[in-house]
Structure 1
């Protein structure tokens, strides 16, 4: 389990650093007039924590019930979607002129991390 977790972190950390840097750049240099509801740190704290907890839970369950790993991933992905909606509720209730840039700044990393999780779960299933 430690080896799998270490290989996951070797990919997770650089991707997170690159994504944070890109998002800071876009928000500071390109979208200077746009009001973002969430800070970059809050978005990535949410994504990194959820991703780490989800992957550790999947590894733990894979150790006990390896034939159910795919179903566990699907279930946790559903819970992750629910957590994302709960995280975004204040944004939906806020009165921003244009909430779309904030939604994109949340969901682009969401799908990158979802792809990363799916890649490692598929690797685990092989």
Structure 2
């Protein structure tokens, strides 16, 4: 529980900072382009999936500490498949210009992936050093 609260102390400001930056960035671009997904929907998906992955990693680290890295790889793969499912309506839409919409999703996706990776490595290293 303590590690989850500590993780949330970093995840919430990280999410809010990126959300505000992207919200105003897309607002400036929305004059010329109507985005398929709302910024809050993208960040809700990324926030919830990141939090669920970290809670899963904490559970695996407590129960099966030797498999924490494998759990991270597997959960990251599942998150990528969930991202593809999340983007299917955009891909199947009749829109001709989807590059900005895909970038509006995958830029924060990879930033969240970097964030998850940093905390997963910390979790694995803390277990290895003790």
Question: What is the TM-score when the length of structure 1 is the normalising length?
Answer: 0.95
| CA RMSD, 1 decimal | 1.0
Residue 123 of structure 2 corresponds to residue 117 of structure 1: no
Deviations for 1:44-75, whole angstroms, at most 9, x for unmatched residues? 11101111111101100110000110001000
For 1:8, the equivalent position in structure 2 comes to 7
Q: Map Cα deviations across residues 65-100 of structure 1 (whole Å, 9 max, x no partner).
A: 001100010000000000000000000000112101
Aligned to 2:54: 55
CA distance in 2, matches of 1:80, 1:32: 32
Aligned residue pair count: 125
> Which residue of structure 2 lines up, in the alignment, with residue 98 of structure 1?
97
Q: Mark the runs of 5 or more structure 2 residues left unpaired by the alignment.
A: 126-130
Compare relative contact order (CA 8 Å, sep 6+) and give the higher one, 1 or 2.
Answer: 1
CA distance in 2, matches of 1:50, 1:30: 27
Q: Which runs of 4+ in 1 moved over 6 A?
A: none
TM-score, normalising length from structure 2? Answer: 0.92
